[in-house]
A = this chain, B = another copy of it.
């Protein structure tokens, strides 16, 4: 009984696939079954030059930077990491059902090589040659959604011709002041709640957390407005031990991960297994999936 409760409410790909007996032959596969059938080519390895490690007392957060979407911000974050800019800075804001935020938007003026002002990278131009994987399901916030380079995206072909990364759980963005300040990457946030899609196209997104999301989402919430830690909470704030690009570390110190590719026939099957859950526990498949309700599997390289 207990097992049934726990396994059934969970993510299918973490569950051992059920044996497929004769009665199940015509049943569409579950997520676990789809993933079990994946070939090595269905997985990809993130580029170490686009992988940022945020070292916290509780462990390492692995962030994949989205260079296609925000090249100047991603590059500036790399520069800040090389300068050890983030080392010792606090996680200063944890707002429940919203964001965890770290770094320091003001302190960046003290750095020498990183850039204080960056161009607008809230959107990129859509064009038909981009290798976008479309999600056919309707979305309220964007005309179309899908994935590009493994990142969830919104698309508005007309009139704006814009494409942008969507705010989902685990998405990483760049804190900014009021327009036209775009932020510099010296203060970043991760979404820790319901996808705040109203932020889409309002702020620059630079990537998503691949591993260690819980190190940012399970922190004590700040009790001042907006989840900022109050003065009496500041002595207990989590401090960043360091932030480094994977490419700057020896191979032995890197976290070896691979990510399910989104541009494969297998991913289409995986999407369907999430859209209509076929695990025994479910009474009624939803018949729909939101771009932010598709967890993209990440696994250790053995």
Interface residues of A (CB under 8 A from B): 1-2, 4-11, 14-15, 93-99, 101, 105-106, 122, 137-141, 168-170, 175-179, 181, 183, 187, 189, 193-203, 213-214, 217-221, 225-228, 274, 277, 280-286, 288-290, 292-293, 295
Contacts and interface: CB of A to CB of B under 8 A. Distances in A.
Contacts of A122: 283
A219 B153 CA distance: 30
Given A97-B169, A292-B194, A7 B225 contact: yes
Of A9, A177, A179, A274, most buried by chain B (CB within 10 Å of CB) is A9
Contacts of A93: 6
Contacts of A181: 1, 4
Binding site of A, secondary structure by majority: helix, strand, loop or mixed?
loop
A85 to B, nearest CB: 16
A197 B286 contact: yes
B7 A226 contact: yes
A5 B183 CA distance: 9
A47 to B, nearest CB: 25
B169 A194 contact: yes
B201 A11 contact: no
